[in-house]
Chain A
Amino acid sequence: DAKTTQPPSMDCAEGRAANLPCNHSTISGNEYVYWYRQIHSQGPQYIIHGLKNNETNEMASLIITEDRKSSTLILPHATLRDTAVYYCIVRVWIGSFQKLVFGTGTRLLVSP
């Protein structure tokens, strides 16, 4: 079962910041939050991940609340090519092995 909850869709104007929320209230202390996106039914593409500190890379920023029950993915200057389904994922442990548990994602539409 997915451990995350996301809004089904969001809109954003080109050039503006896109802020995608995610709830993961049952996350365990050693489980990471991952974000992937999927464009036009291609294979999902990794964006960013974090445990409890905020993270930033060339694609996005990840803000995780202090209680770790929710997070926000920020695309600072959305472009039309950022239109995609964004998945917030918890990486869970199965013994010594880790797996990603996908939810249904947020469909982000970036408009001119």
Chain B
Amino acid sequence: NAGVTQTPKFQVLKTGQSMTLQCAQDMNHNSMYWYRQDPGMGLRLIYYSASEGTTDKGEVPNGYNVSRLNKREFSLRLESAAPSQTSVYFCAGTGQFADEQFFGPGTRLTVL
């Protein structure tokens, strides 16, 4: 039982490049989330998926897209990376009536 996993762990991009951050969970979570964390800051919600087949914008969705591929997987795509998207990205999941969000280990992204 790996919980919530994220790939890659580290990534360096050049401005304008695209990439997809992958997240998978084996805890049968209904809801999944993508957050970003900038230095010295708390986590900010980018997108979330309340259930399989649905996605919604969070606080800071601009420049990102998401796909809830199935119940296990929730990916985050940067179509044209910008230096302002340099951050640590965390994926999380929770069940419909669960009281706790489980977080992945994070992806550290640098955009040059």
Chains A and B are bound partners? yes
Q: Which residues of A contact B (CB under 8 A)?
A: 2, 32, 41-46, 49, 87, 94, 97, 99-100, 102-105
The distance from the CB of B21 to the nearest CB of chain A, in whole angstroms, is: 14
Instruction: Please name 22 pairs of A and B residues whose Cβ atoms are closer than 8 Å in the assembled complex, sorted by A.
Output: A2-B42, A32-B99, A41-B37, A42-B106, A43-B103, A43-B104, A43-B105, A43-B106, A44-B90, A44-B103, A46-B100, A46-B101, A49-B99, A49-B100, A87-B42, A94-B56, A97-B31, A97-B48, A97-B50, A99-B58, A100-B45, A104-B41
Q: Given A49-B99, A97-B50, A100-B101, check contact A41 B88 (CB 8 Å).
A: yes
**B40 in complex: contacting residue of A42, A100, A104, CB < 8 Å:** A104
Determine the distance from Cα of A103 to Cα of B44 in the docked complex, in whole angstroms: 9
Which residues in B have their C-beta under 8 angstroms from that of A46?
A: 100-102
Q: Given A99-B48, A99-B58, check contact A45 B42 (CB 8 Å).
A: no
Determine the distance from Cα of A100 to Cα of B45 in the docked complex, in whole angstroms: 8
Which residues in A have their C-beta under 8 angstroms from that of B106?
A: 41-43
On whether the beta carbons of A102 and B103 are closer than 8 Å, the reply is no
**B103 in complex: contacting residue of A2, A45, A103, CB < 8 Å:** A45
| Residues 10-28 (chain B) with a chain A CB within 8 angstroms | none
Please provide the 3 A-B residue pairs with the shortest distance between their CB atoms, ordered closest to farther. Answer: A43-B103, A102-B42, A46-B100
Q: How many positions in chain B have a CB within 8 Å of any CB in the partner chain?
A: 26
On whether the beta carbons of A104 and B42 are closer than 8 Å, the reply is yes
Determine the distance from Cα of A41 to Cα of B105 in the docked complex, in whole angstroms: 9
| Residues 67-112 (chain B) with a chain A CB within 8 angstroms | 88, 90, 92, 99-106
Which residues in A have their C-beta under 8 angstroms from that of B60?
A: none
The distance from the CB of B88 to the nearest CB of chain A, in whole angstroms, is: 6
